[in-house]
Chains A and B, each alone.
Chain A
Amino acid sequence: MQAVKPVEILTVDLSSREITRDKIEDVELIKKYIGGRGIATYSLLSSMDPEVDPYSPESPIVFAPGVLTGTIVPCSGRTTVLFKSPATGRLFKTNVGGHFGAQLKFAGYDILVVKGRAEKPVYLYIEDDRVEIRDASHLWGKDVRETNRLVRKENDDPEVQLACIGPAGENKVVYASIQVSIYNAAGRGGGGAVMGDKNLKAVAAKGTKGIRAAHPEKFMETVAGLWNKMNEVSGVKPLSDYGTSIGIESTNAIGAFPVKNYQQGNIDNVKYLTGTYLVEGGFLKRKISCYSCPVACHRFVTVDEGKYRGVYTGGPEYETLSALGGGCLSTDTAGVIKANELCNILGLDTISTGNCIQWLMECKQRGVVSDGDAGGLDLTWGNSETIIDLVGKIAHRQGIGDLLAKGLKAASEELGRDSYKWAIQARGLEQSRVETRSAFGYALAFAVNSRGPDHLNTECLAEFGGSPEARALIKRITGSEEYAYPHTTEKRADIVRWHEDIYGASDALGICAFPTTAQFWMDEWDLAGLFRNFTGIEVSHEDMMRAGRRMIVMERCFNAMLGHTREDDVLPYRLMNEIQHDAMHDNAINSAELLDKMKDEYYALHCWDIEKGLPTKETLCELGMGDLIEKITGYIELK
């Protein structure tokens, strides 16, 4: 058998305080699942009882940097975080940038599994072979910035990198984030609440071991080729100059910017919510990179005058400017930055936080909730101070914040009275800030996403055909540039599946989704080349894409074991039942019929059981995953 660098797995049990180290050396397995997200998902699916409560010691949380994380490959600094979500009750993959994953790799670990529950607050300290479960009583209650500062100080090392939670995670807000510094978050799905439940304040990592490529020269050649490609494409510079909010003005212009809780498609004075304004208004102080990233799409911003003077934070990104700005009918730049700062330091997902606040404001608009119910807060649309106040109340579960902290699904069930109709969530996850009624590829992607309706498993930006590279990609997938048009159901299944595949492959390698699915300067051939030259394992571009597909299939199987079927592949009520205002095209709705048509095509393309929307035994065998059938059929029947 070919000798390869094994996948090193570190498992820490917080209940028994046992620390174990395992290796995966099976080349065939590595080829099938690549590493990072792939291998982590495989090990959860094959070893975990899917039915365990997300808040139980048996429910693990897994940190899996990519195969290439810690190397010089551009944009390779990303880490997958996997857990069973308290928000959705399903397997949840999140992915986070920053420098944490690289340090874990330098310490010698590819995958970190944390299970059990500590008796009192602890943090995990990892420095090479030294792995310690340390007291964190003094950190409990501290915000993210302070926690970072204190841990670095007590270890006398400014290079220690943390994945930590803030008060929101401690209070088990179901959309509490795991923060990697103030710039990056494994934001969605409530990983922060899972850490909080484990009494795990932080994982601190620092490594001094080096990483070697199997074929260093060829590896560096592949890397050099990527730099050239990066410098040629049109989308990198704008992203670097203006950050992820670069697209807000144009989205607003086509009426597809979800404003006022998806009641409007655009907002006046959108200028104040753009990346350009962050620069021109003097908020942007510095661009920030994830590890090994030449693009630097993250921002460091400060507010230097007015009532929010003194605020400083990472962000705001597209999603945040939409969720805590436009979505709440606010264009108060400094106000959004303040709300963003609070989310970052209290440890909250900005998307879910924003959606919950919008829902509450609409509850007032529709006479379901009064200002009095909200403890006297003025719930009028666009009130910055209320938005900021609510962020704090959610994190600390004070007053009405306690209701919102349960997430939109539970909150709207509890409040009743038709409020589910404007709760922009499905399967327990608040939809990310995409107007899917104006983008049918996104609609399908969001409906079938194992996480819930959001963009981070399958961002199919290319369907808009916004750049020559995007149109070329659509042509490559569908055979014609004509399909670079988001208001049709045609070929959406093909487009979505391609994106799922490449997302999986990128995540497994630790590569950011922007180069593969937004600026298009890395493709499956590049990913295969990098993997080959780094590990010495022969793979083709098709192998990479099939590995990505296995990840989607595994996630679907995991959730199917919990009862998920095609009936659950839906979108929020409003998007399925109300026509989008300000849309530029007819039929701006994600009706059940529209989704059904695309779902049929999507399941068929995957060779799944169309009736149930689930993989069949044959699909599994064809993908070389026959070994999982026994486990899965212990819970459900497969065709």
Chain B
Amino acid sequence: MSGSVTVSIQKDKCTGCGLCRLACSFDKNGVFNPNASRIWILDGDESGFYPNICRNCEEAPCLDACPAGALVRRREDGYILLNSEKCVGCNMCVMVCPFCAIGRMGDRNFKCDTCNHLEKCARICPHGAIQFEKPAHSRANKRRKLAGLLTAKTGGKEKW
């Protein structure tokens, strides 16, 4: 799966505008409805917002839990897809997903499919809070930032 991209969340950048949720629901259902979105903004009040979305786990509990074969891993990019047609609505995946990244409308569940690599949420986010990148790339970025912080003359003020 080394070639695939993963989602990387910069939580301090999120302002809670909800645009990503509307972009998602419009893409998937042609409607503006955050409840139909595959991304959630967890509102921690004073502690900020967290855009929450499927991480496409390497060892995905949802995949193992689904009794109906509705969840499958796509070979080309390692993404986990939920086939709503096959979903029996038993909620096993919801129970085991550590991120609560599976939603439900009516009696069927749904999850992020990255809009087939168009990642509508990341594209609309005005503040770059959601990014999809290759894991290696994401690690390299993080290290670069860290290097800057660790080597800069910060007078001990900078926090990281």
Contact = CB atoms under 8 A, between A and B. Distances in A.
B43 A159 contact: yes
Contacts of A289: 15-18
A209 to B, nearest CB: 7
B25 A312 contact: no
B46 A72 contact: no
A102 B29 CA distance: 18
Given A72-B32, A106-B34, A296-B127, A210 B17 contact: no
Interface in B12-49: 12, 15-19, 22-23, 25-26, 29-36, 42-43, 45-46, 48
Contacts of A99: 16, 18
A209 B32 CA distance: 9
Contact of B29 (A74, A210, A296): A210
A129 to B, nearest CB: 15
The range of chain A's interface size is: 20 to 34
B50 to A, nearest CB: 12
A288 B15 contact: yes
Nearest to A106: B33
Contacts of B32: 70-72, 210-213
Nearest to B126: A294
A208 B18 contact: no
Contacts of A220: 26
Contacts, number: 72
A234 B16 CA distance: 24
A286 interface: yes
Given A99-B18, A288-B16, A290-B17, A216 B23 contact: no
B80 to A, nearest CB: 25
B96 to A, nearest CB: 22
A312 B35 contact: no
A290 B33 CA distance: 16
B36 to A, nearest CB: 6
A210 B35 CA distance: 8
A312 B26 CA distance: 35
A291 B17 contact: yes
Contact of A286 (B15, B29, B34): B15
Contacts of B16: 99, 288-289
A211 B42 CA distance: 22
A296 B15 contact: yes
A291 B18 CA distance: 6
Contacts of A285: 48
Contacts of B19: 72, 74, 292, 294
Contact of A158 (B18, B25, B43): B43
A293 interface: yes
A455 interface: no
A149 B43 CA distance: 12
A208 B35 contact: yes
A287 interface: yes
A108 to B, nearest CB: 11
Interface in B33-92: 33-36, 42-43, 45-46, 48
A210 B25 contact: yes
A208 B30 contact: no
A289 B48 CA distance: 12
A70 B43 CA distance: 18
A216 B127 contact: no
Contact of A294 (B17, B36, B45): B17
Interface string A275-319: 000000000011111111111100010000000000010000000
A12 B142 CA distance: 54
A292 B19 CA distance: 5
Contacts of A294: 17, 19, 126
Contacts of B43: 158-159
Nearest to B43: A158
A292 B48 contact: no
A286 B127 contact: no
A41 B23 CA distance: 32
Contacts of A288: 15-16
A65 to B, nearest CB: 13
A290 B16 CA distance: 8
A212 B18 contact: no
B33 A102 contact: no
Nearest to B31: A210
Contacts of A216: 26, 30
Interface in A208-238: 208-213, 216, 220
A381 B82 CA distance: 65
Nearest to B16: A289
A294 B15 CA distance: 9
A287 B14 CA distance: 8
Given A209-B33, A211-B32, A212-B31, A286 B23 contact: no
Given A210-B33, A210-B36, A211-B33, A286 B12 contact: yes
B45 to A, nearest CB: 8
Contacts of B34: 106
Contacts of A291: 17-18
Contacts of B31: 210-212
Nearest to A287: B15
Contacts of A209: 33
B126 A296 contact: yes
Contacts of A211: 31-33
Contacts of B124: 72
Nearest to B11: A286
Interface in B103-160: 124, 126-127
Contacts of A208: 33, 35
* Most B-side CB within 10 Å, residue of A208, A286, A292: A286
A208 to B, nearest CB: 5
A285 to B, nearest CB: 8
* Most A-side CB within 10 Å, residue of B17, B29, B31: B17
Nearest to A68: B32
A399 B127 CA distance: 47
A60 to B, nearest CB: 29
Nearest to B25: A210
Nearest to A208: B35
B160 to A, nearest CB: 15
B146 to A, nearest CB: 21
B18 A102 contact: yes
A159 B127 CA distance: 22
Contacts of B48: 285-286, 300
B22 A71 contact: yes
Contacts of B25: 210
29 contacts: A72-B19, A72-B23, A72-B32, A106-B34, A106-B35, A149-B45, A209-B33, A210-B25, A210-B29, A210-B31, A210-B36, A211-B32, A211-B33, A213-B32, A216-B30, A285-B48, A286-B12, A286-B15, A286-B48, A287-B127, A289-B15, A289-B16, A291-B18, A293-B15, A293-B17, A294-B17, A294-B126, A296-B15, A300-B48
Given A289-B17, A292-B17, A294-B19, 17 more contacts: A72-B32, A72-B124, A102-B18, A106-B33, A106-B34, A159-B43, A216-B30, A220-B26, A286-B48, A287-B15, A288-B15, A288-B16, A289-B15, A290-B17, A291-B17, A293-B15, A312-B46
Q: 6 closest pairs, A vs B, by CB?
A: A210-B33, A210-B31, A289-B17, A294-B126, A296-B15, A289-B15
